Amino acid sequence: MQGITQSEIAVAVGASQGQVSRILSGKHRRTSRLLEEVCLYVERRTGGVTADAVRANDELIEAVRATWDGSGTHARALSTVIRSLSVLNPATQSGQVIRRTPEK
């Protein structure tokens, strides 16, 4: 993670080092606000997110909040819809995940 410690991330997002460790290792049980905060913090610190990407991310989060009724059933339905949009991204059609690089 290019010089960022789990402890630094934990302090920045208000979590324990153990929680950050579980998130970074993929051992979290479900998507949470903390997962989002850790990912955003790491991406911002490593230069992986531009200001435009942050605004777009905030817009996406707001769209989900405005649409989701808070239930698990609805969360799964929205997740299915969002994943179905992967056909719009050629990289996901081959099963690969491409990390976006910062815009210059």
* Tens of pLDDT, residues 13-45: 888 999 888 888 877 666 677 888 888 888 777
pLDDT at 53 over 60: yes
Q: How far apart are CA 82 and CA 103, in angstroms?
A: 24
CA dist 90 → 57, 65, 94 (Å): 20, 27, 7
At residue 93, what is the residue type? Q
Tokens standing for residue 1:
């993670």
